[in-house]
Structure 1
Amino acid sequence: MSSKKIVAPLALVAASVIAFSGCAANEATPAGRPGGGSTAAGLNRLTGKGASSMSVAQTTWVADFQGANPGVTVNYSPDGSGAGRDAFKSGAAHFAGSDRALKDDEMGAGKFAGCSADSSALNLPVYISPIALIYKVDGVTDLKLDAETAAGIFSGQITTWNDPKIAALNPGAPLPAASITAVHRSDDSGTTENFTDFLAQAAPSIWTEKAAGTWPNAFPGEAAKGTAGVVSAVESGKNTIGYADESQAGSLGKAQIKVGSEFFGPTADAAAKLVDNAKKVDGRSDNDWSLKLDRKAEGQYPIALVSYAIVCETYKDPEVAKLVKSYVGYIASDAGQKSAQAKAGNAPLSADMVAKLKTSVDSVK
């Protein structure tokens, strides 16, 4: 099957729907096209909820998929990773989008209402993107930070923009003698978990809290809901800084982060190297691809997220399994990844990971 971005003329749309109609519940749509669809009696609506970071990518994937499959509706609600995981657990969503994989104590048979009683979940990384430290500071168009300085800002230990530690990293920059307003997420967020994981790994003497999806009460700042809320608060404020998926940073400044002796901006290529350095989490099934990220390795942008599609190993309803396999199979394919990159600027999965995820998606029942 060609891996080029799909264009869905009538003939291909018809072929895609016909192909889906003849699929058994344990057959995946071929990778590389947004196949799937509905039969007269089959499921024609898929519900997902979760990470707001990949809302641009999900909008792109949904448009591709629905365009190739008339009569099928995919609803993805970007209410945050925590909300997505909760909805998946309760059976309110067929799949979740999450900026972290499920933890060991969240996994296991009997914990997911939409899955068979003997089924656990699979964590499938489908979206890789840098998290930008976005800022709006009077007179500053180029900002450089290291892990310790970022941790100092967000922990409340560094409170003004002309602090000597910021000035040392930005010689000659017109840093104002103004208070810093640091904006963080108010909701349970995988973006927050990835950002605090970076701070905890790279600046443990300053960031004394563990990585977490909810902002620690010990540290101050202004709270805003969702990625859009953080971007809006930084943009509408004065002398502000926050963190958000790079694809939604708009025209705001984006800090460069020092790793070793080099500074890296939040680019897709630099973020992809973080995933290249990742290891698979021990103790999971062969078809689960939860990853452990090394935030301190050199030659990479260290603040990136890997967003997962969380699905059942086995669904209670085979019609749900069929449509989940078709949709998630498309977004994890080379064509789906490249389609999202054009709009969201994510780092596409490697060919090796695409092949591994195809095997995992094929295993869903």
Structure 2
Amino acid sequence: MNLKRFGLPAVVAVTAALALSSCATNEGGAAAPEESASTLSGTINAAGASSQGSAQEAWIAAFQTANTGVTINYDPSGSGAGRESFIAGGVDFAGSDSYLKDEELAGEFGSCAPDTKAIDLPVYISPIALIFNIEGVDELNLDSATIAKIFKGEITTWNDPAIVALNPDATLPAANITAVHRSDDSGTTKNFADYLFQTAPDVWDAEPADPFPYQTGEGAQGTSGVVDAVTNGVNTIGYADASRAGDLGVANIKVGEEFVGYTAEAAAAVVAESPLVEGREANDLAIALDRTTTDPSHYPLVLVSYAIVCQEYADAAQGELVKSYVSYIASADGQAVAAEQAGSAPLSSELSDKVSAALETVK
């Protein structure tokens, strides 16, 4: 069963001074918590992963309905930009499809209390879709080695023998492939690259990182840029959070001996069987995804997106506000809203409990 696909509503942009403005409204029929006599007040500014965009719109609308004194602004500027803004103290938390790197953890965090660190809390699990727009082709099967060769520029036409062999019943055009990747630093790119690095290492020899590693194909800014480039181009393919696939074709990927499409359940299964990254703070829940499964009930091309927050905020009142909001988005109610609006996979009860326990320690 495919995920429900929703378009990304308009979101507020961060100005040069990060003076974020304008509140989200409740869109798409998302279930909001009942209005209450909440005493919470203040403004949260956040930025980061565009993959979280649809979910953040729904979360913000629901939280602000229940807490009318709170304004939350989220700019989907990309994972790398979000982490940079958070590290510099320009936003209160970051959304990121990549957990903090060791070198980032070694530095200071502008919004955090002196000599304290930030932690990674998983809040959004979603498949990455291989979206395509190929003349005369409605269904496409690809294995990881072929995907790697396409995006690395080693396979350049749609009727290449490697693609034909995987799609014997398709009429593939003798046309050049336009492979679209993210031009900005992107956690979606890092997850896509990590999948290829783990499953096709003989082809994809670049260590996974936020920047796209090869000088090939066509670059586009943000998730919306990739979707637009694939939609408006001819004989195109790209990768994007599955919530943004819309009416585009989505390739099936080979897992074991079968070609499978994405589902929330199959994405969540991979996350549930993956360990935490070793050597981190006790409350840092960065996940080392194991994408080498051969179980066709799993979908290994998946991303885990994090809320990156301070363990202790320099401004304690702001810390309590962030803690309240992130606690909501990681809760069963918040995860249900994201599943409805963005087709994401809710956190498992075990992972949700770990996130809740970590948030209890945030000051």
TM-score strictly above 0.5: yes
Determine the structure 2 residue equivalent to 1:24: none
The 2-side partners of 1:80 and 1:266 are apart by 23
- Specify whether residues 359 and 87 from structure 1 end up closer, same or farther in structure 2 by C-alpha distance, changes over 3 A only: same
How far did 1:303 drift? 0.9
The 2-side partners of 1:319 and 1:237 are apart by 48
Identity %: 55
Spell out, residue by residue over 1:108-162, the C-alpha distance to the aligned partner (whole angstroms, 9 max, x if none): 4x61011011210110000000000000001111100000000010000000001
Determine the structure 2 residue equivalent to 1:80: 78
How far did 1:7 drift? 4.4
- Large movers: runs of 4+ above 2 Å: 5-9
* C-alpha RMSD of the superposition: 1.2
Instruction: Read off the aligned partner of 2:63 and give its amino acid letter.
Output: F
Determine the structure 2 residue equivalent to 1:71: 69
How far did 1:354 drift? 1.0
Q: Which runs of 5+ in 1 are unaligned?
A: 22-36, 39-43
Given the alignment, which residue of 124, 129, 136 partners 2:126? 129
SS of alignment partner, residue 273 of structure 1: helix
Structure 1 length normalisation: TM-score?
Answer: 0.89
Asked if the contact 1:264–1:270 (Cα under 8 Å) also holds between the matched residues in 2, the reply is no
How far did 1:282 drift? 0.7
Determine the structure 2 residue equivalent to 1:207: 204
Determine the structure 1 residue equivalent to 2:172: 175
Larger Rg over CA atoms: 1
How far did 1:107 drift? 1.0
How far did 1:359 drift? 0.6
Spell out, residue by residue over 1:162-220, the C-alpha distance to the aligned partner (whole angstroms, 9 max, x if none): 1110011111101001000000001000000000111111111111111111012x340
When structure 1 is superposed on structure 2, of 73-82 and 349-358 the one drifting more is 349-358
The 2-side partners of 1:81 and 1:128 are apart by 15
How far did 1:77 drift? 0.3
Structure 2 matches for 1:15-94, cutoff 5 A? 17=38, 21=39, 37-38=40-41, 44-94=42-92
Given the alignment, which residue of 319, 322, 338 partners 2:320? 322
Asked if the contact 2:33–2:63 (Cα under 8 Å) also holds between the matched residues in 1, the reply is no
SS of alignment partner, residue 53 of structure 1: helix
Determine the structure 2 residue equivalent to 1:33: none
Structure 2 matches for 1:271-282, cutoff 5 A? 271-282=267-278
Q: Which runs of 5+ in 2 are unaligned?
A: 1-29
- Specify whether residues 336 and 54 from structure 1 end up closer, same or farther in structure 2 by C-alpha distance, changes over 3 A only: same
SS of alignment partner, residue 192 of structure 1: helix
Asked if the contact 1:46–1:324 (Cα under 8 Å) also holds between the matched residues in 2, the reply is yes
The 1-side partners of 2:32 and 2:182 are apart by 37
SS of alignment partner, residue 36 of structure 2: helix
The 2-side partners of 1:200 and 1:353 are apart by 26
The 1-side partners of 2:351 and 2:313 are apart by 24
SS of alignment partner, residue 50 of structure 2: coil
The 2-side partners of 1:283 and 1:134 are apart by 36
SS of alignment partner, residue 333 of structure 2: helix
SS of alignment partner, residue 352 of structure 2: helix
- Specify whether residues 6 and 161 from structure 1 end up closer, same or farther in structure 2 by C-alpha distance, changes over 3 A only: closer
- 1:256 pairs with 2:252: yes
